[in-house]
A and B are shown apart, each in its own frame.
Chain A
């Protein structure tokens, strides 16, 4: 029997009585290693001494005190109750479900962002179109010239009438 087997046998002896076969192997080992017998006896005596230590004193109403301790009504706020319910639910569901929920939430978020982005682009295009029509006006430098402004002349209703007449005459 090796030293390792001896230690294994010692661990067994500390847990339960050895059987006849183990006892025989141990006796054989002691014949070869007489110094191990002293160690064996001391280990068993130590184990026995530890086992014989008296139990810690406990009052007779210990169990009642514990039950009274857990029986006190707990004042739980609404927020903590919601949080507790959420964490309890989260523990219950499987991770796959939690992951699926996360994907859905993420997808909705991405779609919302894209919709917002497209709306912003459409508004920008509309604004640019309005600005481009303003660009057809005479330049600011021209408008600074009094003579030029004066030369533009008044816009008369007859100009519109002439245009309508011209459109009426145009064949479809």
Chain B
């Protein structure tokens, strides 16, 4: 990062390659829209480059990076709450039998044995989405192997509060996903 601070673009490229996936994962779990998540991830790295002068060596790079990512996510959540997106159910003004907008379904057709797995993923994703933002972010950062101290700095709260957030979030997830966690299959 010190090389990036001096304007080394090759070092910046290396940072993007190394951290793009963890950042995208965090954003995608917060704003579950692949296109928007990618755009926001791109903005995170552009923001990192533009504010590289403000980076202080005292903080770990990942702390700084994920703090920027979280702030952009929160901004996007606030923006969405102020300007709710229009429904995809809206009818086309000229063709009543068609929706206003149509999007290509890019998902590949999965074989039958993968259907259950996708369903489980969807359950976990939904459970994560329903968590309060700070609990979800703490759990996702923990998943990315960040230390408690780092997570606490990103969330701007104490170490004990961070551990409590992770504990409560995990307990909520465990209670909700219990049928799968106990046997490996859903009993619903």
> Is A45's CB within 8 Å of the partner chain B?
yes
Would A58 and B9 be within 8 Å (CB), given that A42-B174, A49-B181 are in contact?
Answer: no
Contact of A42 with B178 in the complex, beta carbons under 8 Å: yes
B residues less than 8 Å from A38 (CB atoms): 182
Name which residue of chain B comes closest to A62, CB basis.
B20
**Cβ of B64 under 8 Å from chain A:** no
- The distance in angstroms between the C-alpha atoms of A51 and B9, with both chains bound, is 32
Q: Which residues of B contact A63 (CB under 8 A)?
A: 13, 16-17, 20
Summarize A's interface: helix, strand, loop or mixed: helix
Is B170 within 8 A of A62, CB to CB? no
What residues of B have a CB within 8 angstroms of the CB of A59 in the complex?
Answer: 38
Contact, CB under 8 Å: B181 / A56: no
Within 8 A of B (CB), among A64-79: 65-67, 69-71
Which positions 119-149 of chain B face chain A at CB distance < 8 Å?
A: 120-121, 124-125, 139, 142-143, 145
A35 within 8 A of B: no
Question: Assuming A58-B41, A66-B46, A70-B49, is B20 touching A46 (CB within 8 A)?
Answer: no
Cβ of B74 < 8 Å from any Cβ of A?
no
Across the interface, do B42 and A65 meet the contact criterion of CB distance under 8 Å?
Answer: yes
A166 contacts the other chain (CB 8 A): no
Is the CB of A15 closer than 8 A to any CB of chain B? yes
- Chain A residues with Cβ under 8 A from B50's Cβ? 70
Contact between chains at A50 and B174 (CB < 8 Å)? no
Q: Mark B168-188, 1 if CB is under 8 A from A, else 0.
A: 001001100110111000000
In whole Å, how far is B33's beta carbon from the nearest beta carbon of chain A?
10
Which residues of chain A are near B67, meaning CB under 8 Å? none
Interface string of A116-153 (1 = CB under 8 A from B): 00000000000000000000000000000000000000
Q: List, in ascending order, chain A residues with CB within 8 A of B182's CB.
A: 38, 41-42, 45
> A135 vs B166: C-alpha distance in the bound complex, in angstroms?
91
List 7 A-B pairs, minimum CB-CB distance, nearest first. Answer: A56-B28, A56-B24, A45-B181, A70-B49, A66-B45, A42-B181, A69-B46
